[in-house]
Amino acid sequence: MSFPATASAVLAVGDAVPFRSPALDWHALAPEAVLVATAVVVLLVDLFTAERNKWLASTLSGLGLLGALVPVITLAVDGNTRSLFGGAYVVDDFALVMKALFLVAGYVTILLSTDYIGEGDYWEGEYYLLVVSSVLGMTLMASARDLITIFVALELLSIPAYLLAGWRKRELTGNEAGMKYYLMGVFASAVMLYGMSLVYGGTGTTVLAGIGRQVAGSFGATPVAALGIVFVLVGFGFKVSAVPFHNWAPDTYEGAPTPITAFLSVASKAAGFVAILQLIFVAFYGRDEVYGPMMWVLAALTMTVGNLIALRQTNVVRLFAYSSVAQAGFILAPLAVAGDSPAVADDAIRAVVSYLLIYTAMNLGAFAVILAVSRKTRSGELDSWGGLFEYAPGLTVLMTAFLFALAGIPPLGGWFAKFQVFKAVLGAGGASAYILAVVVAVNSVIALYYYANLARLMWFQSVPDGDRSPVRVPAAINLALALCVAFTVATGFFPGLVGHFGDAATDLVAVALRR
């Protein structure tokens, strides 16, 4: 076998050439640079401000995240695909769309956190520093086209998330959340690293495009390649909480501070999907008989198991934990058929990216309502939501919109997300695709039951404790709600908005097939 020899040859060459600093495209790195600067500023400001001025950290980090959007937009206007570090770091439309998603999701998380963290007995400066760092990891992930870069980005986004998940350190559930998330995350990293080592050992390169060429060639046919692909994807299966790797999610979601739960269920999950997309479409595309069936099984299991367990939940956060597990199943479904043909691959990437964008808005919106309501009820039990319509009609209408958007009922945004999934899956054709489509259809109905059940409690039940005093919603949460509902409703009526971003993101596939 020749590949160990190739690998050592690469190392040998690396040793011989003296290190020279690569040419840096600062424009391409500007979003990350802004985030790094923000993190540093937040840390310094926190050190030198009095207790009563700690709110500065929240404001500054929010501004920093929005500031990082500016270079993302200028890069998008510029339109050139920029490739740095020998193809290890690529700024294309796909990366920009996802970076924008992470930055906005991070900003909404900060909005949700402001009052929660300010009013609770928590450290503020560190909290925002960690959120910004995690978002930095995600924006890196969107551009990472190299195994090492992917791994670094993953750790950069995960390690702050482990800490944040355990932020309620005085409570047992908080400790459990952090610990469980950490152990599972590290375990997943280990599995993934093992897979990466197999892939690297076989191909002699860590750059995804290079791996893609080899996987399509003779190396792809070897069992080692299959093993490597499976292990790497399993690692990200943990990240996106795909069944059977989802066990950490409910406990972590329940124990973490609610804004962090929202962050994990949306941004962190999206980052996992970004990595999966890059790996599948750039590196592993030639082996669709390996990842295709794997994704098929993961998708079917994830949505079915997530939905069925969600039916039995009595705690609203756990309900949303399982609902987000199930939603991940819907997002995985197009990947099962992605290898069918370049046209289907395009459709699959459109579906995943559109789904992620819409899902982010609707899920963050739902968590914003949960936060607002729990400020009054101080309870996560579903029963405490009874009769919400009587004393908080505005929040009830918003929550109803988010719930039915998640269920995929037109004319709210979620229908287009589900629709794109159906379209990608059916576009592939063949018996297994049709069966998967029917599984998706049946699961949409199951999911409706628990979403509608929450709506039922809010609208049809009476208030359990008879307390009809209105819910006071802080300005920051109102802003978050407005952003989310505007996006959710607008995409329902004019799906072209999201469709356009999905279209732009297909340049990831184009790269893979250009070889």
Partner 1 sequence: MKDLLNDWGLTAATFLPVVGAVVMMVIPRAEETLHKLVALLTTLAVLAVGVALIASFDFDRTRTLQYVVDRSWIDVINSRYIVGVDGIALPLLALTVLIVPLVVIYSWNHFPEPHNPKAFLILILILETGMVGTFVAQDLILFFVFFEVVLLPMYFMIGVWGGEARQYAAIKFFLYTLFGSALMLVSFLAVYFLSPEVDVGGTMRHTFSMIELSDWAGAGLASTTALFVFGGMFMGFGVKVPIFPFHTWLPDAHTQAPTQGSVILAAVLLKLGTYGFVRIAIPILPEAAERWAPWIGLLAVIGIIYGALGCLAQTDMKRLIAFSSVAHMGYVMLGISTLTTFGINAAIFGMVAHGLITGMLFFVAGSVKDRYHTLEIKRLGGMLLQAPRLGWVLAFSCMASLGLPGLAGFWGEFPAILSAYNPAAGLNPAVYRTYMVVAAIGTILAAGYLLWLLQRVAFGTPREEFVGDDHDHGHGHDQAHALGQGDRTGSHALGHARIHDMHLTDYLAWAPMLLLIVALGVYPNLIFRVTDGAVVNSLTALGR
Chain residues in the site for partner 1 (CB under 8 A):
350, 400, 404, 409-411, 415-416, 419, 422-423, 426-427, 429, 434, 437-438, 441-442, 444-445, 448-449, 452-453, 455-456, 459-460, 494-496, 499-500, 502-503
Q: Tokens 């290079």 belong to which residue?
A: 210
d(CA 362, CA 358): 6
| Minimal distance, residue 244 CB to partner 1, in Å | 26
| Minimal distance, residue 429 CB to partner 1, in Å | 7
d(CA 427, CA 249): 32
Neighbours of 463 (CB within 10 A): 16
| Minimal distance, residue 431 CB to partner 1, in Å | 11
| Minimal distance, residue 498 CB to partner 1, in Å | 9
Q: Smaller CB distance to partner 1: residue 221 or 460?
A: 460
| Minimal distance, residue 162 CB to partner 1, in Å | 38
Residue 131 · residue 106 · CB < 8 Å: yes
Peptide bond preceding 244 in cis form (omega within 30 of 0): yes
| Minimal distance, residue 146 CB to partner 1, in Å | 31
Q: Find the angle CA(331)-CA(335)-CA(339) to the nearest 5 degrees.
A: 165
Q: Smaller CB distance to partner 1: residue 289 or 434?
A: 434
| Minimal distance, residue 395 CB to partner 1, in Å | 15
| Minimal distance, residue 496 CB to partner 1, in Å | 5
Q: Smaller CB distance to partner 1: residue 139 or 400?
A: 400
d(CA 137, CA 150): 9
Q: Smaller CB distance to partner 1: residue 221 or 435?
A: 435
Q: Smaller CB distance to partner 1: residue 220 or 502?
A: 502
Nearest to 157 by CA among 32, 41, 271: 271
| Minimal distance, residue 388 CB to partner 1, in Å | 13
Residue 98 · residue 142 · CB < 8 Å: yes
Q: Smaller CB distance to partner 1: residue 187 or 459?
A: 459
Q: Smaller CB distance to partner 1: residue 184 or 353?
A: 353
Q: Smaller CB distance to partner 1: residue 68 or 319?
A: 319
Q: Find the angle CA(159)-CA(102)-CA(341) to the nearest 5 degrees.
A: 105
Q: Find the angle CA(34)-CA(278)-CA(86) to the nearest 5 degrees.
A: 65
d(CA 320, CA 299): 18
Show Cβ contacts of residue 136 under 8 Å, excluding neighbours closer than 6 positions: 32, 35, 36, 39, 156, 157
Q: Smaller CB distance to partner 1: residue 309 or 455?
A: 455
Neighbours of 43 (CB within 10 A): 16
Please spell the DSSP secondary structure of 36-105, one letter per residue: HHHHHHHHHHHHHS-GGGTHHHHHHHHHHHHHHHHHHHHHHHH---EEEGGGTEEE-HHHHHHHHHHHHH
